A = this chain, B = another copy of it.
């Protein structure tokens, strides 16, 4: 049987790696310097290797092996902490802080409904909300700075568990006076007749609307480059109102009143699938996986009835 390093010793080692100073590392661990020193020594003695270079002066310099052990100690302690956390989450499900990330094309339109819903169903949950674009949300999620994110699916990111919540249909936004406004609905093919206003690069909604347009007709790079770009959906609507072009809007945004007082109206688009799927995602093997599954189940209540029904009938995601 192998002698395992004690978690305490590993904590001391990580603190030392962080502070590079025995005294400060010790007070960070709430122990005396002698305790931490003894702990590091004991770890080195048990492993029968030296983790610190003690040659040069009194500075804290780790050996190559020391650095490697530090990396692995982080992993091991995280795994141990996860056991505590999963126990805590099971003891008191749906309590405590929950750091939720949300993309800018969902956040402003869903949060006014989402926050009261969570307060009602899970009053013990303290939501901490971050709004950012998909890529950076994923980075924050995988590095543990977020617990759970609300985004447009599909999301290709390994180690991520996602649940589709509902479909959000795209509708065409045109100025009241536009020719297309006279039609009851607009076929996909006609979307390229007029210039398009798109979101800035980085918004996944930009790529999704472009993909919808490309369904209708070959719509090359040149038109895309000449399109106007907006930094938010609110700006995009204003620009459509100013006659700079037409735009595709998520139904979610329209439902929450983004068009009010803008002179922009919407028409449904026909001739092909035109929606995005909104889903909830979290780190696979997160200690609070069960919490997040329950949250997803509750969040489905926020779907417009017909969107949820559509997803139920055809759960295969695009």
Contact = CB atoms under 8 A, between A and B. Distances in A.
A308 to B, nearest CB: 29
Interface in A1-35: 1-7, 10, 30
Interface of A is mostly: helix
A288 to B, nearest CB: 12
Nearest to A51: B87
A111 interface: no
B68 A72 contact: no
A81 B65 CA distance: 15
Interface in A74-93: 75-77, 79-88, 90-91
A1 B3 CA distance: 25
B84 A49 contact: no
A52 interface: no
Contacts of A3: 84
B30 A87 contact: no
Number of copies: 2
A47 interface: yes
A89 to B, nearest CB: 9
A299 interface: no
A313 interface: no
B87 A48 contact: yes
A122 B270 CA distance: 71
A7 B49 CA distance: 21
A73 interface: yes
Interface in A230-265: none
A12 to B, nearest CB: 13
Contacts of A80: 4-5, 76
B79 A76 contact: yes
A87 B4 contact: no
A69 interface: yes
Given A4-B77, A6-B7, A65 B83 contact: no
A88 B65 CA distance: 10
B81 A49 contact: no
A47 B81 CA distance: 11
Nearest to A79: B76
Given A75-B79, A76-B80, 13 more contacts: A2-B85, A4-B81, A5-B83, A6-B7, A7-B7, A10-B83, A47-B83, A47-B84, A48-B87, A65-B87, A72-B79, A76-B83, A79-B79
27 contacts: A1-B30, A2-B85, A4-B7, A4-B81, A4-B83, A4-B84, A5-B80, A5-B83, A5-B84, A6-B6, A7-B7, A10-B83, A47-B83, A47-B84, A47-B88, A49-B90, A65-B87, A65-B90, A69-B86, A72-B79, A72-B82, A72-B86, A75-B82, A76-B76, A76-B80, A76-B82, A76-B83
Interface of A: 1-7, 10, 30, 47-49, 65, 68-69, 72-73, 75-77, 79-88, 90-91
